[in-house]
Structure 1
Amino acid sequence: MIAPPFAAFTESEHRSRIARAREDLAAAGYDGCIIVAPENLFYLVGYDSVSANICPQALILSVHDKRDPTLLVRNLDLPLVKETSWLTDVQTYQLFVDDVAGLVAKIATDQGIAKGRLGLDMQSPAVTGSYTRALESAMSAARLEDVSHILNRIQLIKSPAEIHYMREAASYANLGLEAARRTLQPGVSEFALCAAVEVAARAAGSDYPALPTECGSGTRSVSGHATAMPKIIGKDELVHLEFAGVARRYHSVSMVTMATGDPGIVARRLYDVGRESLLAGLEECRPGAQVADIDIASRKPIERAGLDQAAQMRFGVGIGIAYPPIWLSSLQIDRFSSGTLVPGMTFYVHSWLSLGREGLGVMLGGTYLVTETGIEALSGAGPVDLLTV
C-alpha cells in the first residue's frame, strides 16, 4: 500500500498507538470508544484536519475486536483523510441531510459495541453538547462516559518521531522570538509586533497554531491571555508575548517579557522575582520529579518577596499535538495535581506575575523536553535578564 502523501508517521506507529489505546480502555472496563477530538484522530490514525471543530465526525473503535476502527467524516472531507491517513475503513455523510449520530450508532452496532460501555472524549471542544445528546439518544442502550484522560495519557510520552517534530516546532518558535527582539521599539503597534513574530515562524515552515499570539504592552501587560490590540507601544513599557511554533501539529511555545527603555523600579523588581521563580521551578524539573514539588519550589521566591497574590497561574502544563482552540495537554504542573515527570514528556512552564493596581505584568518561560538525565530547553527566552530596547 502506498503511504499517504502527507502522512506524518508510519502506519506501524499508528497501529502501536491503537493497540495501546485498546489496552488501556479495556483495563478501564470499556467495550469501545467514539473518538471525536482532532488531536486524538491525528494521533491514532493520522487524519490531520481542523474539520472536527466545524462539523461532526467520529472514529469508532472496538476494544475487543481487533479490526481497524471506522472513521466517519463529512463527504467533503474525504480527500483530507486520503492525503494524511492510511485508514481504509472510512464512511461519509452529507451535512444537513444524513443523521450523523444515527450513522455512528449503526457502525457501533456492526462492531457489536452499541449496547456496551463506551468512551467519548467529552473534554474536547469538538464534542459539543448537542452532539453528545444526539449520540446518547441514538445509542440509548449504551453507556457513554468521558475517557479524555485515557486518550490524553497515552500521548504524554513522545516517540523519537514525535520528539523530532517538537524540536522542529521549537526552531520556528525561536525564530519568532528573534523577530520579536528585532522588531520591538517604541512606536510599533502590538499588531505589527505580532505580525513580525508570525511571519518569521510561518515563512520558515511553521504550521498554524492552536492559539493566537498573546501580546500585552504597557498597562495591558497585566493581562495574562491578552491578544494584540490596535495599541501603539510606548516608551518605558513592559511588553510580553506568548506564541508557538508548530510542526505537523506538534507545538512548542516561546514566552518573553521585554521593555522599551526603563519600565521603572517596580517593574524591574517584578521581573527579577519572576526570573527567580522560573529558575527555582526549573531546578526541580528532572525525571521522577513530582509535579506538585516543582510548583511549590517555583513559588518560594514569590512568597519571600511578598508577592503571593501576584502569582495566579500554574507553573506548567504538558504540550504536544494541538488544534484550535487550545494547545494544553492533560499534564498539569501545579501544587494541586499528582503526576511524575518521565523521559519523553514535553511541557511548557511560565512564571507569571501581575500587579493589577500598578498595571504591570511579566511572563517568562518556554518549552522543555524531559531527558534521561534532566531537561532540555526547546524554545522560549527562559530565565534571562530583562531585555530592554
Structure 2
Amino acid sequence: MAHLDRQRAARLMEAEGIDALLLLTAETFTYATSAPAGVATMWRKTGAIAAVVPADPAIAEGAVVSDLFEAAFRVASSITDIRINPIWVETADITGIAFDPDAANLVAEALRIKGRKGGFARPETFDADLGFQHAADILADRGLQGGHIGIELESLSVSDFRRLQNALPDATFVDASRLVAQLRMIKSPAEIEHLRTAVALSEAGIEMLQKTIAIDVSRDALAAAWTTGVKEEAARRGVKNLTGLWEYVSVGPNPWIQGGAVEEGSLIKVDVGCLISGYTSDTGRTFVCGKPTALQSRLFQGLEAAFAAGLDKLRPGNAMSAVHRAATHAIANAGFPDFTRGHFGHGLGTGPGSEEWPFLSATSETLLEPGMVLAFETPWYVDGVGGMIIEDQLLITADGHEIMNRLPRGLVSV
C-alpha cells in the first residue's frame, strides 16, 4: 500500500494549480508507489524511474520502472500502468520455457518471449531521455502533457531539467518541492509503525552501550556495543526490514574528533538511529563516567530547561517557530542568553540523511499537525567539556504529542 494520500494530494495540488505530480527521486517514487526504486537511482540522478500522480484521484497513476525491478514492482505496487526503462544489468527469465540442452537456444527463446528486438543494446547505466519520454507518454495518455506539472525542482540538475523539457515541450513546470514535503510530513499508519520499531531498536542498542561504559573502553567499542544491541533486539523481535544503522557517538572533551578511550569524568554523547524499510529514527542521550563536574551539570541543566519548554509547545496548531522560541527563551533564562541554534529538531522519514523538512526553526511558520513524526532535540557541543544531547522522537496527536522513547533523558552517571 502506498503511503501517499491521494485526497490530500488533490487538495494541495488544486491550491497550487497543478494538474499532476511527476516524482523522480528514489524516496518519492517509493512513497507514491510502495515499490523499491532500484539500483539505477544510486547516483542521485533522475530519469531512471518516475511516478505520475494526477491531481484528480479518479485518474489512475502511472510509473516508469527499471526492467531489473519490474517483477518486484508488480508485487509491491497497485499501479498497473507501467513503462519499462532498461538499465545496464543483463537478465533473462527461463521460467516456464521448455528445457533445451543448448543454453544459447534457451536464452534466445526467453528473450524472444520477453519481446527483445534485434539490435537491442543496454545503456552504460540508464537512458534518462528514454525514462523522461516514458513519463511524457504516461501524461499524454491522460491528456496532461500540456498541463501544469509539479516536479521536485530542488532535486533536478540543470541538465536533467533540460532533458525533461525536451520530453514535455508543451508542459508548464511548477516547483512542487515544498508540496511533496508537505505530503510526506504527515505519516501513514505504516510509516509510523516503521518509526516506532526503529526507535525501539535504537534504544535497545543504547542500553547495551550504557552497560559497556567503563574506564579505558574505546569509543569504537561503545559504538560496536550499540550496534550489537540493535541487532540482538531486531533478532529477538523477528524484525526483517532493518535496512541501516547510523551513529554519532563521541567520548571525552572534544565532541568533533569522536574521542578515544573513556576516562573518569568523560562525557559520552550518543546520537543514533536505525532504519526500518528506509525510515530512520533519531534519538540522543548523554552519559558521564563517574560523577559529573559542576560545569557539566550546569550546562546540561540549561539543555533540560530548553527541552521542557519546547516540549510543552509541541501540539497541533502551534507554529514550529513557537517551539524554537520557547526553547531559546528557556535556555537564556537558565543563564545562557548567548546560546543560539538554527533548529531544535526536524521531520523524520526516508530522506538521504537523518533529518528532513520541516524544521523546528525560528523562521518556520509550518503548523504542527496530527500524524507528524518529529525528532525534538536540545544539543550542545562545548570543546573542553564534550558533547551533550537530549533528543526524543515523538508523534503529534490530536490533542498533543506522544513520546516514542522510553529511556530517561537526564545526564546519566555510570
- TM-score > 0.5 by shorter chain: yes
Matching of residue 208 in structure 1 with residue 243 in structure 2: yes
Note if 1:150 corresponds to 2:184. Answer: no
**Aligned residues between the structures:** 365
Look up the SS of the partner of 1:73 in the other structure: strand
**Alpha-carbon distance in 2 for matches of 1:50, 1:255:** 32
CA contact (8 A) 2:148 2:173 kept: yes
**Residue deviations 1:245-284, cap 9 Å, x none?**
3333333321111112245322221111111111111122
Q: Does residue 170 of structure 2 align to residue 104 of structure 1?
A: no
Q: Which amino acid aligns with 1:372?
A: A
d(CA) in 2 for partners of 1:190, 1:84: 41
Contact map agreement 2:21 2:149 (CA 8 A) in 1:
yes
Query: Which residue, out of 77, 86, 103, partners 1:94?
Result: 86
1:196 alignment partner, SS class: helix
What's the counterpart of residue 405 of structure 2? 379
Change (3 A) 1:212 1:113: same
C-alpha distance in structure 1 between counterparts of 2:316 and 2:410, whole Å = 27
Give the direction of change, closer, same or farther, for the CA distance of 1:354–1:64 in structure 2 (3 Å limit). same
Residue 283 (structure 2) aligns with: 254
Structure 2 gap ranges (5+): 88-122
Query: Aligned residue for 2:152?
Result: 121
Which has the larger Rg?
2
Q: Distance in 2 between matches of 1:83 and 1:233?
A: 50
Could you say which structure has the greater relative contact order, defined with CA pairs below 8 angstroms and 6 or more residues apart? 1
- Quick check: 23-32 or 59-68, which moved more? 59-68
The TM-score, its normalising length taken from structure 2, stands at 0.78
Distance 1:86 1:199, change over 3 A: farther
Q: 1:374 to 1:326 in 2, by over 3 A?
A: same
Residue correspondence of structure 1 range 1-150 to structure 2 within 5 A: 9=1, 17-49=5-37, 51=39, 52-54=41-43, 56-64=48-56, 66-95=58-87, 96=123, 99-109=127-137, 110-111=140-141, 112-124=143-155, 127-150=156-179
For residue 234 of structure 1, what is the amino acid of its counterpart?
E
**What RMSD over aligned residues (CA atoms) do the two structures have, in Å?**
2.8
- 3-state SS, counterpart of residue 331 of structure 1: strand
Instruction: From 326, 332, 356, give the equivalent of 1:303.
Output: 332
C-alpha separation between the residues in 1 aligned to 2:400 and 2:34? Answer: 31
The alpha-carbon deviation at position 66 of structure 1 amounts to: 4.0
Gapped regions of structure 1 (runs ≥ 5): 1-8
The code of the aligned residue for 1:196 comes to A
Change (3 A) 1:107 1:173: same
Q: TM-score, normalised by structure 1?
A: 0.83
- Matched with 1:366 is 392
CA distance in 2, matches of 1:282, 1:94: 49
